[in-house]
Amino acid sequence: METTAAEIRAEIAAERRELADVLDGLTDAQWDAPTLCGGWRVRETAGHMSMGFRYSFGRTALELVRAGGNLHRMTDRVARRDAAALSPRELAAALRDNAHHPWTPPVGGLTSALGHDVIHGLDITVPLGLGRRIPEERLRMLLGTVTPRTLRFFGADLDGVALRATDLDWSYGTAGPVARVESRPAQELLLLAYGRTLPRPE
């Protein structure tokens, strides 16, 4: 049965509230720990996650102009600035207080908004070793969006790689004679599909 917009919105709200609870429980040292987002600590990643709630379209456009039209440069600069200006408590509250905010990325709609929250949440919790598991229904919503276009957009280098989930009935790609099979929990495979680099399973 097809997932409804209301169901996706409910998962987005739940994800934001759960991540806010995680952030509220972090120590000062954990806030300064690196994440899977290259060059960003937890502070910068959390600041970036709430940028879409705190910045109007006009202000975002102005920041993009100041960055010479370079989206990556703009988001990096804003994340660093906001991480320095906002306290950990404020960064966590920005997620919790905007659990039902209608923001979506420029492309992809509601499912992309869910992916933005889930992936950046994992960017934080995985390196910290917190063991947070994304609920199965939430994972399935995002795994269903993994396509060659998704892999290209996020720069995932998975040519010749077949993905096989060890905890869900899900796979992607065909394991041919020269293919490598990545067998991992589904949320790790999702991170790979979103261009993250993870250590090889032992």
Q: Is 182 helix (H, G, I), strand (E, B) or coil?
A: strand
pLDDT reported for residue 107: 79
Q: Is 43 helix (H, G, I), strand (E, B) or coil?
A: helix
Paired with 172 in beta bridges are 163
User: 133-155 burial, b for 16+ CB within 10 Å, e for fewer?
Assistant: ebeeebbebbbeebeeebbeebe
| Tens-place pLDDT, residues 94-127 | 999 999 999 998 878 999 999 999 999 999 999 9
pLDDT reported for residue 126: 97
Residue 175's pLDDT band, with cuts at 50, 70 and 90, is low
Please tell me which residue, 68 or 174, carries the higher pLDDT value: 68
| Tens-place pLDDT, residues 58-84 | 999 999 999 999 998 999 999 999 999
Cβ atoms of 8 and 111 closer than 8 Å: yes
- Who contacts 103 (Cβ-Cβ below 8 Å, separation ≥6)? 52, 53, 113
Nearest Cα neighbor of 23 from 41, 2, 1, 3 is: 41
Residue 69 phi/psi, 5-degree rounding, is 80, 5
pTM for the full predicted model:
0.93
pLDDT reported for residue 157: 87
For residue 200, pLDDT over 90 is answered with no
Is residue 24 classed exposed, middle or buried when 0-12, 13-18 and 19+ CB atoms within 10 A define those classes? middle
Is residue 102 classed exposed, middle or buried when 0-12, 13-18 and 19+ CB atoms within 10 A define those classes? exposed
